[in-house]
Structure 1
Amino acid sequence: MSSATAASKKGDEKHLYTVVVLGASGDLAKKKTFPALFGLYKNKYLDQNTHIIGYARTKMDRSTFEEHVSMNIKLKTDEDKAAHKKFLKLCSYQSGQYDQDSDFKRLEDAIREVEKASGATARLFYMALPPSVFISVAKGLKKNNYTEDSLVRLIVEKPFGMDLDSSRELAKDLGSLFSEDEIYRIDHYLGKEMVKNLMILRFANVIFGSVWNRHTIDNVQITFKEKLGTEGRGGYFDEFGIIRDVMQNHMLQILTLVAMEPPVSLGAEDVRDEKVKVLRFIPPIVKDDILLGQYGKSEDGKEPGYLDDKTVPKDSKTPTYAAATLFIENERWSGVPFVMKCGKALDQQKTEIRIQFKDVAGHLFTTLSRNEIVIRVQPDEAVYVKMMNKEPGLGTKTIISDLDLSYSSRFSDSVIPEAYESLILDVLNGDHSNFVRDDELDAAWKIFTPILKQIDNGEIDPIPYAHSSRGPKGVTEFVAKYGYTRERQEYVWPQHSEAGSAAGKDQK
């Protein structure tokens, strides 16, 4: 048996893990990583003997660590509280530097001690860390905590570089230490329920699959809106901006799933092959196809502007809003604009995909609005199809109606897992499908790096907009330039629909 085949078979086996959370004292670990691990443990997706070791530079005693771990864990029932007590017994903490072999050796001693007690045969290293320490930590782990006797998996959080060159440098350094099969570049949007549902919607339904192309679709909008501003993170955010923070990763991942061709199978590499192919058909974004904004004070003066943050340079041109149009130059999508819009300090919290179809040919009926498929990613997960219908009564007046699948009503008894729970479980199962491959990352940065260089050089001025508004002036015209058409008649959601339906809250 070849070594590659042996490694593959080793990865396919069920393993008991020791989980090491690096950066355990930080916000990401507190808000996402530990709650996700607890969720998996509580629902018995994590082996009940799995030990979790937190590692960070901050010194914490046992009680402080337990309080930190528990801060964002929601305990709704007595069963939750009982599971939480058991979970904490499996957690331990060790402080240490990120560039000291002696500290990583002490970590190794701690790992071996719990492995002796649990019988664990695999190690999962979760790097909940800033990118500035990725490589020093990876070197420390490889030198002191990597063993050929155990299966090793490494989760790396975004951002994966700042541009094409830095991404390639990071990939090269990380690739010299761990194999691509061992690395899981996590983008938590790929773990969201409706994003995971995209392939089912597209490839398991003839009614969607047959119209998913340039012949029937006029334009596609992917929207990511946040109500919060930078909220004290301005100094950190200013290094990256909204495009690196949201568009180049989260939104582009959604675009690939909307636009990719059917994969040969559901195998991780077959899925990721098709995502890479789509990205390679997208030319770099040009200045005429982008609009930037930066939020100021709210109109009532209660909410501060971006430049009011003391950690943000007063002359900063960093965008907090961006609208960009991408074109996929292949047979399926040629000529169809994909408009991505994202921003902070906006009027609502929403992530959705809006697929708008072409106008009906001919003039049999007047005042027709276009059909749309809307996939609401968050909040209030839903899929709904906007269509024309006859208004009840005498006559043939047309109205806009909907075929609505709102999860809150259709799946009211189902619990939708958190994205991080879903993705960590994928790692434990050795499934790379929902993680970013190195060549995929390279193709993504090629699309954005030229325009990012212009933005970084101050060549594109952001348009100011008020905190809690819908965004900078000109966004409506920008979207209309690429063919998006609003309803030509009033749109009213029927009264008999379930309260809280996503379609009833439809806002552009």
Structure 2
Amino acid sequence: MAASGRARSMSGTIPSMETAHEELKDNTVIVVLGASGDLAKKKTYPALFNLYKDGLLPKDVHVVGYARTKMDDAEYHKRITSYIKGTEDPETAKKLEEFKGLASYISGGYEDAPSFQNLNNHIEKIESSYEDKERNRLFYLALPPSVFIPVAQHLKEECYSKGGKNRIIIEKPFGKDLESSRQLLGALKRYWSENETFRIDHYLGKEMVKNLLVLRFANVALSAGWDKNSISNVQITFKEPFGTEGRGGYFDEFGIIRDVLQNHLLQVLSILTMERPVSFSAEDIRDEKVKVLRAIPPIERNDTLLGQYVAANGKPGYLDDDTVPHNSVCPTFAATTLWIHNPRWEGVPFILKAGKALNEAKVEIRIQYKDVTQGIFKDISRNELVIRIQPSEAVYLKLNTKLPGLNMRAVTTEMDLTYKRRFADAKIHEAYESLILDALKGDHSNFVRDDELDVAWKIFTPILHWIDGKNGPSPKPVPYPYGSRGPKELDAFIAKYGYVRTETGYAWPVTHVSSL
């Protein structure tokens, strides 16, 4: 009993985040628009099923798929369950059959009112079985941005529940630059209020990104050195081991900066660097994120390195993709350095790096501390705090310690919190599961607010216009081989911002989690 009590006393409770809306607990129809697309079948429907399996969706929930594609229920059910895992388990298979029973489909266009009137009739037929008068609707737009505005308009005019709560989830990209983003925001606000709108960036739903709030503000040992006095530089890295592989047409329109840096990595940066919020309420958190983003000036050209992968290791180059324009200068790799002009971070470079067709899959934050005071130590490695967002979630701190033995020799090692070992029995929910649940609860904490999006585009728009050739010729990205670490110029690029690579042969032993 004593041990049990001691364990309880050592755990902390985080106050529930305040919500701007009431939770949708029952009488709810979830409409997935774009139900025939890749995003819906790979992410949205698996997330909805896992929430259903865990009993986290509203009571008597129904899921309605909507898209242009004409298909019967059998084809629809086959498509939406094709990426659901664990169906060999009898209990999961049973739940899947139940899920199919509450999932229906209707086809229609995205720009004509009669199609949405037909959708509304379908929803009302489902709602007729609800005993209570309240009718709640959650609309998930798994759609390209080109149809956001007409869909949002028709949903409001033809499918808006008059007797319940309505919410709309919108996927990125939210525009292509500051001007287009403002046009999109303005058009959407004519139909949907900010409280009803949930702009989803799935990185905000990842376990390790949400953990940043606790790591930063619940640990004096870390927060005491979380500033320019102790930290030399910070890198936030996103690496994919595959290229566009036939999907280059879409990618070429946006590029790696719009695809990853301006949203995913900037969101991570804002949580990593913001000041302590006064509470865990959604608006208090987002207020602090906006404050720190406003302290970041637009990115300079000389703080940018652009790359494009070429054929190597038996893999085709970006320009070998038939869907890519033959003379495209679209970057598939980018490293940009941001500066935060406030008392905490003045002078600390924040290097955001993202690329396709690299040597591994990895997303991590690497905080490198300044050199130890010289004197009794010489050429000793710097401390580094590394937060591995995916895969193999972990937090580890690189330290110098005495090598056991008779000699006084320092060696680099780590204090390692690898989630698969420490929390072996814990289930880490997928980001989309977490965010859909937040939208059902009405919690905006992990969604992008309108002014936050506006500031983010201000930071990146000048460099994007340069890349797009709007202010002269477009820069030509440097080539890098498929399967490499990126452009050969990368090491010199990050070195000029003070990053010192460990030369002792140290490597974090990530391979030890692969068998777990």
Tell me the residue number matched to 2:435: 423
Counterpart mapping for 1:217-296 below 5 A: 217-296=231-310
CA–CA distance in structure 2, aligned partners of residues 213 and 36 of structure 1: 37
- Matching of residue 474 in structure 1 with residue 500 in structure 2: no
Contact 1:367 1:488 in 2 (8 A): no
SS of equivalent to 1:118:
coil
Instruction: Give the one of 34, 48, 52 matched to 1:41.
Output: 52
Counterpart mapping for 1:127-206 below 5 A: 127-206=141-220
Quick one: which amino acid aligns to residue 432 of structure 1?
H
Per-residue deviation, 1:60: 0.5
% identical aligned pairs: 57
CA–CA distance in structure 2, aligned partners of residues 46 and 492 of structure 1: 43
Tell me the residue number matched to 2:475: 460
Counterpart mapping for 1:31-430 below 5 A: 31-74=42-85, 75-119=87-131, 121-298=135-312, 300=313, 302-430=314-442
Tell me the residue number matched to 1:441: 453
CA–CA distance in structure 2, aligned partners of residues 263 and 272 of structure 1: 9
- 1:12-71 C-alpha deviation (Å, 9 max, x unpaired): 574432100000010000000000000000001113410000000000011000000110
Per-residue deviation, 1:394: 0.5
Mean alpha-carbon deviation: is it higher for 254-263 or for 407-416?
407-416
SS of equivalent to 2:414:
strand
Contact 2:24 2:58 in 1 (8 A): no
- Matching of residue 29 in structure 1 with residue 44 in structure 2: no
SS of equivalent to 1:25:
coil
Cα 1:9–1:456, aligned 2, differ >3 Å: closer, same or farther? Answer: closer
Cα 1:387–1:85, aligned 2, differ >3 Å: closer, same or farther? Answer: same
SS of equivalent to 1:392:
coil
Contact 1:22 1:126 in 2 (8 A): yes
Cα 1:351–1:498, aligned 2, differ >3 Å: closer, same or farther? Answer: closer
Tell me the residue number matched to 1:3: none
Tell me the residue number matched to 1:4: none
Cα 1:89–1:11, aligned 2, differ >3 Å: closer, same or farther? Answer: same
Counterpart mapping for 1:2-13 below 5 A: 11=22
Per-residue deviation, 1:467: 0.6
Per-residue deviation, 1:115: 1.2
Contact 2:32 2:141 in 1 (8 A): yes
Contact 2:27 2:59 in 1 (8 A): no
CA–CA distance in structure 2, aligned partners of residues 377 and 370 of structure 1: 22
State the number of aligned residues. Answer: 491
Quick one: which amino acid aligns to residue 34 of structure 1?
Y
CA–CA distance in structure 2, aligned partners of residues 363 and 149 of structure 1: 73
SS of equivalent to 1:143:
helix
- 1:286-340 C-alpha deviation (Å, 9 max, x unpaired): 1100000000101x3x110000111111110000000000000000000000001
Instruction: Give the one of 499, 502, 508 matched to 2:512.
Output: 499
CA–CA distance in structure 2, aligned partners of residues 361 and 230 of structure 1: 47
SS of equivalent to 1:54:
strand
CA–CA distance in structure 2, aligned partners of residues 150 and 127 of structure 1: 20
CA–CA distance in structure 1, aligned partners of residues 286 and 204 of structure 2: 12
Cα 1:492–1:29, aligned 2, differ >3 Å: closer, same or farther? Answer: closer
Per-residue deviation, 1:148: 3.2
Per-residue deviation, 1:492: 5.3
SS of equivalent to 1:291:
strand
Alignment RMSD, CA only? 1.5
SS of equivalent to 2:204:
helix
Contact 1:31 1:72 in 2 (8 A): yes
CA–CA distance in structure 1, aligned partners of residues 152 and 391 of structure 2: 36
Quick one: which amino acid aligns to residue 54 of structure 2?
N
CA–CA distance in structure 1, aligned partners of residues 120 and 505 of structure 2: 65
Quick one: which amino acid aligns to residue 398 of structure 1?
A
Cα 1:224–1:492, aligned 2, differ >3 Å: closer, same or farther? Answer: closer
- 1:466-502 C-alpha deviation (Å, 9 max, x unpaired): 11111112100000000000114231558xx992289
Tell me the residue number matched to 1:487: 502
Contact 2:30 2:138 in 1 (8 A): yes
SS of equivalent to 2:416:
strand
Quick one: which amino acid aligns to residue 499 of structure 1?
H
Mean alpha-carbon deviation: is it higher for 41-50 or for 87-96?
41-50
Tell me the residue number matched to 2:7: none
CA–CA distance in structure 2, aligned partners of residues 109 and 488 of structure 1: 67
